[in-house]
Amino acid sequence: METTLKRSYPNALGYNRSDYLGLPTTLCKGCGHNSIANMIVSACYELELQPEKIVKFSGIGCSSKSTAYFLDRSFAFNGLHGRMPSLAEGALFADRTLKGIGISGDGDTANIGLSQFKHLVRRNLPMVYIVENNGVYGLTKGQFSATAEKGLKLKRQGENPYLPVDIALEAVAANASFVARSFAGDPKQVKELIKAALSHDGTAVLDIISPCVTFNNQDYSLHSYSWGKGHEAPLHEVEFVMPREEITVEDFENGTVREVTMHDGSVIVFKKLERQYDPTNRTEAVRLLEQAIRRNWLITGLIYVDPNAPTIFDMYSMSSESLNRIPAEKLRPDRKALDMINLSFQ
Amino acid sequence: METTLKRSYPNALGYNRSDYLGLPTTLCKGCGHNSIANMIVSACYELELQPEKIVKFSGIGCSSKSTAYFLDRSFAFNGLHGRMPSLAEGALFADRTLKGIGISGDGDTANIGLSQFKHLVRRNLPMVYIVENNGVYGLTKGQFSATAEKGLKLKRQGENPYLPVDIALEAVAANASFVARSFAGDPKQVKELIKAALSHDGTAVLDIISPCVTFNNQDYSLHSYSWGKGHEAPLHEVEFVMPREEITVEDFENGTVREVTMHDGSVIVFKKLERQYDPTNRTEAVRLLEQAIRRNWLITGLIYVDPNAPTIFDMYSMSSESLNRIPAEKLRPDRKALDMINLSFQ
Amino acid sequence: MQINDFSVTFSTINGSGSATANNTILRAISKMGVPVSARNIFPSNIQGLPTWYNLRVNAAGYKGRQEHCHILVAMNPETVAADLEKVVEGGLVLINEEILLDELPAGMKKIPMPVKMLLEASKTPTNLHIYLANMVYVGILAWLVGIDLEKIEAALQYHFDHRQSAVEPNLKVVKIAFDWAHQNLANPGDYKLAALEHAENKILVDGNTAGALGALFGGLQYAAWYPITPATGLAEALNEYIPKLRTDPQTGTTNCVVVQAEDELAAIGMVVGAGWAGLRAMTSTSGPGLCLMAEYLGLAYFAEVPIVVWDVQRVGPSTGLPTHTSQGDLTFTYFISHGDKDMIILLPGDVEECFEFGWKALDIAEQLQTPVIVLSDLELGMNIWEADPFAYPDHKMERGKVLWEKDLETLLKKSGQWGRYQDIDGDGIPYRTILGNLHEKAAYFTRGTGHDEFAHYSEENRDWEKNLQRLKKKVESAKKLVPPAEVLNEEKGRVGLIAYGSTKMSALEAVAMLNRSGRQVDFLRIKALPFTDEVETFLKTHDRIYIVEANRDGQMRQILNVNFPDYAAKLRSAARCDGLSLSAEWIVSQIEKMEG
Amino acid sequence: MQINDFSVTFSTINGSGSATANNTILRAISKMGVPVSARNIFPSNIQGLPTWYNLRVNAAGYKGRQEHCHILVAMNPETVAADLEKVVEGGLVLINEEILLDELPAGMKKIPMPVKMLLEASKTPTNLHIYLANMVYVGILAWLVGIDLEKIEAALQYHFDHRQSAVEPNLKVVKIAFDWAHQNLANPGDYKLAALEHAENKILVDGNTAGALGALFGGLQYAAWYPITPATGLAEALNEYIPKLRTDPQTGTTNCVVVQAEDELAAIGMVVGAGWAGLRAMTSTSGPGLCLMAEYLGLAYFAEVPIVVWDVQRVGPSTGLPTHTSQGDLTFTYFISHGDKDMIILLPGDVEECFEFGWKALDIAEQLQTPVIVLSDLELGMNIWEADPFAYPDHKMERGKVLWEKDLETLLKKSGQWGRYQDIDGDGIPYRTILGNLHEKAAYFTRGTGHDEFAHYSEENRDWEKNLQRLKKKVESAKKLVPPAEVLNEEKGRVGLIAYGSTKMSALEAVAMLNRSGRQVDFLRIKALPFTDEVETFLKTHDRIYIVEANRDGQMRQILNVNFPDYAAKLRSAARCDGLSLSAEWIVSQIEKMEG
Ligand SMILES: Cc1ncc(C[n+]2csc(CCOP(=O)(O)OP(=O)(O)O)c2C)c(N)n1
Ligand SMILES: Cc1ncc(C[n+]2csc(CCOP(=O)(O)OP(=O)(O)O)c2C)c(N)n1
Ligand code: SF4
Ligand code: SF4
Ligand SMILES: [Mg+2]
Ligand SMILES: [Mg+2]
């Protein structure tokens, strides 16, 4: 794909790609998380978002650190281990015109944060939730996370005795409205899925296999680069098309094409590969994930989407003003209101 | 079924049913939890278990209180809200000859306790885990729990805006080895499933709809007696047969019969109803649950079972002695061992 | 004869609807202008267990719990024997005549109530009798002590929101019982009410509702909570009043959001997120929930996020007695979360202050950019108290040092730079921007790890120390913002008594009793931590100081010891925790014992 | 010339394998019989950021951190400028010659190291050069200060477990560098080692491993944990040693289980379950994890469940500086969980005590039936210390008041009854049965809610109060069980200095320095809370007492104030928290300032 190259000049909003950069990474060289951070930069640049209109959230872990390594011009809150979802659930009410991007790790999401993750998804808070999934605790130096496969061997830890938690299946079970899986070794797909996720009006869960080169990159490990490369089974080729762009079917010479129109008018275009897969069918999604588990497939692509599921914001009749800009006068009821209240207690 | 009546004399171990009773309940009259407590009494009596060989665990809630209302001769630990699983994960290592019964509520399990619940299931700790599911917080007087259906209306709470958590689906997604659903209004089925659960070598999850007559028993509510009675869709008739009992197929005059042999040699006999359902097929189980959600069925019966899944105990090579009876001499290594250690640091 | 000075205990069973009867009596007496107070003693259970309601009439306005009652209304056969032990000599016992009772202790007078007969006589629908039964004692008590039937009617109208279908049968039973008593009993006349003129119309309200209203008048914008007794009422009151107070009647849109979280870990996380994003944010909980908030409170302190946490205390440790009151969370709250930190704590002493601190807490949190914890308790929070009408906030909303686009531009023009954690004003409080601020210099990175003045990640030892020392300065700034301690009398060299929170009620009475008995005692009420200057002055000027509180370990005394080592040796503890609020009698007895 | 008294700072980049080189030097010096200590200063990061290793040689055995070093080994160009600021006048700077450096500060001597050239000369495989680079400074330093090459070889053999394929290339580089230095440099001879005879063979071990071993020799049966720096090593050491120490060589079965929990809420829950079920149980964590344990700790206290919690402290509040040391969790731990409660806290001061308290904590917990928290810190836990060989427990395992079937039968025969919470012996400690006990009277119901002596549910005020007062008695019983404070000199009327935990190291040196300078200072080291009698005596007998600790707020002083109001006015705080352990110099400067 040439898109990245083609656009290396200011985007429609006048921002250069460099306006989306973060600080230099302090993660290990070759860490999957770095390549995801790069793709977030590219996706935001290509989507022509204003950096100040994005808010970043994260928990604790190498993955969660990486919010510092993209979008330096965006607000960010690096919260507590496993408890980023609740932060976002509070903060994003303050200004609904902002887009939230949350970065978590597999330990952060599937161990200590499982409950907050699932309840976030259930509430369908509009934000992108990326799990940088390496099957291991990177920052604390190589313990098993709940997504580690049974039988994985790690230095100092021995052999993992448990079946893994499947983050995508967990998301679907919790009534997620957007669930995708990708692989840091496939940056183009990662980028297109991030773009789609950013345009989704609801919680968009991206489970991205992101190898930890320091603690879990053995060839046989299900979270390594080489295993991922050998076993990736893309459901489709994905291309994200912005509302005002034209869909150029030329990009997809061969194969049939399917489109899903998102809430904001953008379109996700799927070029079908061998498999016939409909990402708007939840029963299908559940079955596919169940199969993938049994057969050790690294299914990637958009697994499930419902562009019109009600969000948590739909449950409140809030004014369209940014809540955090409402002036004090409007927030404090007047004296008469208090008189009435006092009267009602007499 | 006459079984209960037939056996109202001392069981093979010489215990009367009254030996399995607890204190008089202080729950509301008509509360579903009371009827489940009664069925636990019956199941243990009929299974001829020694009361001292059972350990009870619970969290906090009306449901969790009910561990006091059965098996007064068993040890019990009423722990913290949502965190009974971890208690059991510690305690049951102490003596593997004991059987654990955990009682939880839907708030206890699906809200504050979701993470502990799922990780318990994933570890497959041998114990019975009963969720007395009423869609509401009883003890704190009627707030929505995460299993409350979307649109449910409760006094002081308004209308529930979220899709419910499906405890059985969550259990299956977490690789549970035994998942059943039942309805407190169907005591016979509850009892047979409890017996099956008690014989399972692994975590046996029982999601029992148990109406809260005080706060959530409106006819339209999915957790009420009348809705349950109108919508129960049993997968099969279940009968539990102890290892040394003979299977009398007469009990099942009509219809075909299927059997699953449990780890301890006992047999669960299913009399098929209309539906053809195989509870040993996980893909089927996932599909069924997904369907039941879409179609508002109160599916009851044994949804999934794998009698031979490895348990957490299989992961440790522990001696067969009760761990908590090992004498001090065996626990403290000798002086020579320390000398060696000291040497190794020089 | 005791006029306007006696107490009544109603002994009933929970789930039997006695709350309606009890509240009716409370409101009717209040409407007579006679100062009255009451507390509910109830089990952690939904239905079928013993419950008590202790009502006190006191012309002088004292509201503390009393160890004994003058009148017992006995409706629960299970507890009547024990209940009788609490009745004073010469007391009256109104008893459902179906309760079999051997004999009353000497000196008590028994007044049997033919509940069943009167209900039947009332010709009210039988299916309602279970609820109406309690109206029998309302009627008989009204006759006995002289409660205006008119006021009772008014109270019922209030209670049932003028639904006559409900008011009528209730009132009917009251009247029938009243008439029956009038005709069949001789009124001993020992305890009597006499209507008074109140200066103002008193209101009746519980502390949880008061706190919620205070927050709503304080411009609260975001609350997240998880149900827990005795704090639940606070969040439920928010839900109740948002449509009335914070919703635009034209558009139907609201500017205050309440989220029921999946647990307290999430509730506090949500609130920290909201507070960080510039919303006035709070949560409410009780001890067990507070435990789960420890880690996020540390982050809020360190990341300087304004939030308010209400802890409505119940008896701990652990699940404890969830429906009984205590002041046992003070030291935990003061030292909550690992590492060095300082928590600002407000200690409301009555429902008026629940309202007042409800809005002030939000101001203080935003001014200091730090968590503020309001320690209420079950006593205050779940009981309905007579109070002066809530006073409209006497001060404009203080939003603290917030920089929007223009402010930031101005600052940058002036100073050339802005650092999120720079102490520009020397008060330890930095300036903050808020998300949504589109100025290209506005964004900063918030974290729980070390950082420099410009919010950049730093593990430099000097950066860490400097930052933590600056944070410590906020304690001094806080002293100027929190409600000052209240001093009642102060004369050098006398004995001092210190109380706080709901214990104020009995402490005030104890001081009066001690003074009457010839021991001159001065009184100081602490309303907040950090301690304001009055506290040190009080400690300095008194020889012996008793700290009165409803916990086992004397937790306020412990914190005073920490802060005032020079006076620590003068402090004495009168502390107790058994699930009941302290009585003035007990306080006096403790002080007399220690004073010798 | 300074013999056996100097310090070296190694400035490197993490992930570059410098730990091998540094530990080799430490071990080699130790093997020469010269007292040596070292601390690692490292970032919260996996690869590529600056790391320091401060090594100190001191014939007198002092191990405290020093503010300056005599020799700098500079391998990191990023930090060299700042590193130089810490070198004493006349210090030596070993610097990778590839690092460009303008000029050294006056008085320092530069020794450039041709790292690349020497590696090439070594003919070792190029792909290993990145790791072997550090061996260059090992060789040159060995030449400079006189480390036996033989001891270096022995240290490398130890480090690589006698894998010659690893030992050889490393040793080769060391030797080449040594020889090169010998041939090409003039040895300034300022700082020198001279081999000594140690009385005994010292061991080298980190506090986390020591704690784990102590627990294993204490009969630990169940541990649950969640990874967190700096506590991770403790659980990982359990995993490492269980096969060696607690596994039956015949059957291969083990009697100690370690579970990695999903988080700290679960870890503590598991441990409470295990402790309740009669297993010796513990967990290990650091500040953030401790926050999540608050609620279960309250339950364990109230339900009287013996458990041990290791908190290996790092800098808080919040995520803080996860790889830097502090003593900041003391007050939080002391007051942890809502309501009134008492936590038993052990404060090991060196690795020997990590081992000792490792087994003692389990005894004390079971004897008292209550949680015991061991407060270690990163300084102790993650650094490798020279120590005396671990002493075998001098006391049999104490399992406390446990009733198995026969015991219960005997008790029942004697007393006719047994109540789980009866205070039979008057020490506040009841008798407990354990699940699996098949006696039909053995079972009882454990809960966090109120109960009577027979473990029956109770909301009775008297039951609650009585029970909590009995629990308070355990504090007195605890004083007889916890390790007593250690007193070094005690003379009436002098100045006292109090320290605890790892701060002991510098405090001892500070006391010596003060005494040398003519100020007579006595020393007390606190090893546990509640305070043992020595503490009160010490406070009583001294006029002014300085409490030295590595936190901002002077937390031990705060707790002393709470417990000893009569002496509170005599206490002074010398407290500091910047992520580094305190140096003796700093302590002395503080005391001199305050003494005037
Ligand atoms: C409450 C709490 N417990 C433990 C930790 C320590 N900790 C930091 S990161 C981490 C695991 C990170 O693993 P993961 O989320 O998979 O991220 P990765 O480093 O692999 O990207 C842990 C356990 C913490 N910060 N807070
Ligand atoms: C940490 C904590 N938060 C809140 C509570 C208060 N609480 C007690 S029971 C309960 C909900 C119980 O609901 P559920 O589990 O559904 O049980 P039910 O009463 O409906 O049977 C809550 C929130 C508590 N005990 N602990
Ligand atoms: S340790 Fe692993 S997860 Fe962490 S930065 Fe390095 S490669 Fe990435
Ligand atoms: S409140 Fe509901 S759940 Fe609780 S005891 Fe009553 S009926 Fe049962
Ligand atoms: Mg990971
Ligand atoms: Mg429920």
Mark out chain A residues that contact chain D at CB-CB < 8 A: 26-29, 60, 62, 80-82, 111-112, 114, 137-141, 143-144, 146, 156-158, 214
Residue B198: name the closest of B57, B270, B101 by CA: B101
Q: Does C228 lie at the interface with B, CB-CB under 8 angstroms? A: yes
Report the pLDDT value the prediction gives residue A156, as an integer from 0 to 100. 84
Which atom number of ligand 4 is nearest to the Cα of residue B142? 1
Tokens of D199: 């009385």
ipTM: 0.97
Mean pLDDT of D540-547: 95
Mean pLDDT of D51-75: 97
Residue C426 CB coordination number (10 Å): 9
Residue D261: name the closest of B175, B165, A143, A88 by CA: A143
Do residues C27 and C159 touch, judged by C-beta distance below 8 A? yes
Angle in degrees, CA C370, C376, C381, rounded to 5: 135
Query: pLDDT > 70: what percent of chain A?
Result: 94
d(CA C21, CA C38): 13
Sheet holding B298-305, edge to edge: B232-234, B298-305, B178-183, B203-209, B127-133, B99-105, B54-58, B75-78, D445-447
pLDDT at C42 over 50: yes
Task: Choose, out of A111, A118, A144, the residue to mutate when testing the contact with B (most B CBs < 10 Å).
Answer: A118
Neighbours of chain B (3+ CB pairs under 8 A): A, C, D
Nearest CB to C276 within list A91, A320, A328: A91
Report the pLDDT value the prediction gives residue B155, as an integer from 0 to 100. 85
Task: Choose, out of D247, D258, D406, D445, the residue to mutate when testing the contact with B (most B CBs < 10 Å).
Answer: D445
Sign of CA dihedral C331, C335, C337, C342: positive
Q: Among A261-265, A330-334, C34-38, D454-458, whose mean pLDDT is lowest?
A: A261-265
Strands C5-13 and C69-74: parallel
pLDDT bucket at C1, cuts 50 / 70 / 90: confident
Q: Contacts of residue D262 in chain A, CB cutoff 8 Å? A: 111-112, 114, 146
Report the pLDDT value the prediction gives residue B294, as an integer from 0 to 100. 87
pLDDT at A254 over 70: no
Q: Among B189-203, B231-245, C234-248, whose mean pLDDT is lowest?
A: B231-245
> Residue holding tokens 């200072």?
D521
Report the pLDDT value the prediction gives residue C259, as an integer from 0 to 100. 97
Report the pLDDT value the prediction gives residue B42, as an integer from 0 to 100. 97
Q: Does A218 lie at the interface with B, CB-CB under 8 angstroms? A: no
CA-nearest residue, atom 1 of ligand 4: B138
CA-nearest residue, atom 8 of ligand 4: B31
Give Cβ neighbours of residue D573 (< 8 Å, ≥ 6 apart): D546, D547, D549, D554, D557
Provide DSSP, B11-39: -TTS--GGGGB-SPP-SPTT-HHHHHHHH
Q: What is the pTM of this model?
A: 0.97
pLDDT at C125 over 80: yes
Report the pLDDT value the prediction gives residue C353, as an integer from 0 to 100. 98
pLDDT at B133 over 90: yes
Inter-chain CB proximity D229 and A214 less than 8 Å: no
Report the pLDDT value the prediction gives residue D472, as an integer from 0 to 100. 98
d(CA A152, CA A164): 10
Do residues C355 and C213 touch, judged by C-beta distance below 8 A? yes
Q: Among B255-264, C323-332, D42-51, D384-393, whose mean pLDDT is lowest?
A: B255-264
Q: How far is CA B56 from CA B49, B67, B73, D276, D435, in A?
A: 14, 6, 10, 13, 10
Q: Give the residue on B whose Cα is nearest the Cα of A146.
A: B119
Report the pLDDT value the prediction gives residue B5, as an integer from 0 to 100. 47
Intra-chain end-to-end CA distance of chain C, in Å: 33
Residue D487 CB coordination number (10 Å): 16
pLDDT bucket at B276, cuts 50 / 70 / 90: confident
Write phi, then psi, for D503 (nearest 5 degrees): -70, -20
Task: Choose, out of D51, D260, D264, the residue to mutate when testing the contact with A (most A CBs < 10 Å).
Answer: D260
pLDDT bucket at B296, cuts 50 / 70 / 90: confident
pLDDT at D356 over 60: yes
Q: How far is CA B43 from CA A309, B3, B177, B243, in A?
A: 44, 11, 21, 15
Give Cβ neighbours of residue D168 (< 8 Å, ≥ 6 apart): none
Which residues 266-305 in chain D show a CB within 8 A of chain A?
A: 288
Tokens of A98: 């902002």
- Choosing among 3.30.450.20, 1.10.287.10, 3.40.50.2300, 3.40.50.970, the CATH entry for A2-315 is 3.40.50.970
Mean of per-residue pLDDT scores for chain D: 96
Q: Among A1-15, C318-332, D167-181, whose mean pLDDT is lowest?
A: A1-15
d(CA B64, CA B52): 20
Q: Contacts of residue C258 in chain B, CB cutoff 8 Å? A: none
Report the pLDDT value the prediction gives residue D488, as an integer from 0 to 100. 87
Report the pLDDT value the prediction gives residue A248, as an integer from 0 to 100. 65
Mean pLDDT of C114-129: 94
User: Model confidence over C487-544: pLDDT tens digits?
Assistant: 987 777 789 999 999 999 999 999 999 999 999 999 999 999 999 999 999 999 999 9
| Encoded amino acid at C113, one letter | M
pLDDT at B4 over 80: no
Inter-chain CB proximity B140 and C48 less than 8 Å: no
Phi-psi group of A16: left, alpha or beta (phi > 0 → left; psi -120 to 50 → alpha; rest → beta): beta
Side-chain half-sphere CA neighbours of A223 within 13 A: 37
Report the pLDDT value the prediction gives residue D17, as an integer from 0 to 100. 83
Write phi, then psi, for A248 (nearest 5 degrees): -105, 105
Q: What letters, b where the CB count within 10 A reaches 16 and e where it falls short, cover A244-262?
A: eeeeeeeebeeeebeebeb
SS3 D324: coil
Nearest CB to D229 within list A26, A114, A140: A140
Give Cβ neighbours of residue D582 (< 8 Å, ≥ 6 apart): D64, D65, D503, D506, D507, D548, D549, D550, D576
User: Angle, to 10 degrees, between the axis of helix B114-123 and the axis of helix A114-123?
Assistant: 120
pLDDT bucket at D200, cuts 50 / 70 / 90: low
Report the pLDDT value the prediction gives residue D16, as an integer from 0 to 100. 82
pLDDT at C92 over 70: yes
Q: Contacts of residue C47 in chain B, CB cutoff 8 Å? A: 27-29, 214
Residue C88 CB coordination number (10 Å): 17
Write phi, then psi, for B153 (nearest 5 degrees): -110, 130
CA-nearest residue, atom 13 of ligand 1: A137
Q: Does A173 lie at the interface with B, CB-CB under 8 angstroms? A: yes
pLDDT at D535 over 90: yes
User: Angle, to 10 degrees, between the axis of helix A114-123 and the axis of helix C264-276?
Assistant: 60
d(CA B281, CA B302): 11
Residue C577: name the closest of C288, C286, C316 by CA: C316
d(CA C285, CA C291): 10
Q: Contacts of residue B310 in chain A, CB cutoff 8 Å? A: 161
| H or E segment and range at residue D508 | helix D504-516
pLDDT at D393 over 70: yes
Report the pLDDT value the prediction gives residue D343, as an integer from 0 to 100. 98
Residue C493 CB coordination number (10 Å): 11
Report the pLDDT value the prediction gives residue B251, as an integer from 0 to 100. 52
User: Model confidence over D457-500: pLDDT tens digits?
Assistant: 999 999 999 999 999 999 999 999 999 999 987 777 789 999 99
Confirm or reject: Cβ of A105 under 6 Å from ligand 1.
Answer: yes
Set out the domains of chain C in order of their start, with CATH numbers. 2-200 (3.40.920.10), 205-387 (3.40.50.970), 402-479 (no CATH), 486-595 (3.40.50.920)
Q: How far is CA C15 from CA A305, B27, C48, in A?
A: 47, 11, 6
Q: Which residues pair with residue A261 across a beta bridge?
A: A267
pLDDT at D183 over 90: yes
SS3 A147: coil
Inter-chain CB proximity B112 and A115 less than 8 Å: yes
Mean of per-residue pLDDT scores for chain B: 92
Q: Among A5-19, A117-131, C119-133, whose mean pLDDT is lowest?
A: A5-19
How many residue contacts between B and D have a Cβ separation below 8 Å? 199
d(CA A136, CA A61): 10
Inter-chain CB proximity A146 and B119 less than 8 Å: yes
d(CA D501, CA D151): 32
Residue B142: name the closest of B34, B28, B58 by CA: B28
User: Model confidence over D255-274: pLDDT tens digits?
Assistant: 999 999 999 999 999 999 99
Q: Contacts of residue A123 in chain B, CB cutoff 8 Å? A: 162
Inter-chain CB proximity C436 and A324 less than 8 Å: yes
Q: Contacts of residue C434 in chain A, CB cutoff 8 Å? A: 94, 324
pLDDT bucket at A1, cuts 50 / 70 / 90: very low
Tokens of D202: 């010292």
Inter-chain CB proximity D320 and C450 less than 8 Å: yes
Side-chain half-sphere CA neighbours of B231 within 13 A: 18
Q: Does C232 lie at the interface with B, CB-CB under 8 angstroms? A: yes
d(CA C36, CA C17): 21
What are the start-end ranges of the H helices in A55-166?
62-65, 84-91, 106, 114-123
User: Model confidence over C322-352: pLDDT tens digits?
Assistant: 999 999 999 999 999 999 999 999 999 999 9
If 0-12 CB within 10 Å is exposed, 13-18 middle and 19+ buried, where does residue D425 land? exposed
d(CA A231, CA A212): 17
Report the pLDDT value the prediction gives residue A269, as an integer from 0 to 100. 87
Report the pLDDT value the prediction gives residue B6, as an integer from 0 to 100. 47
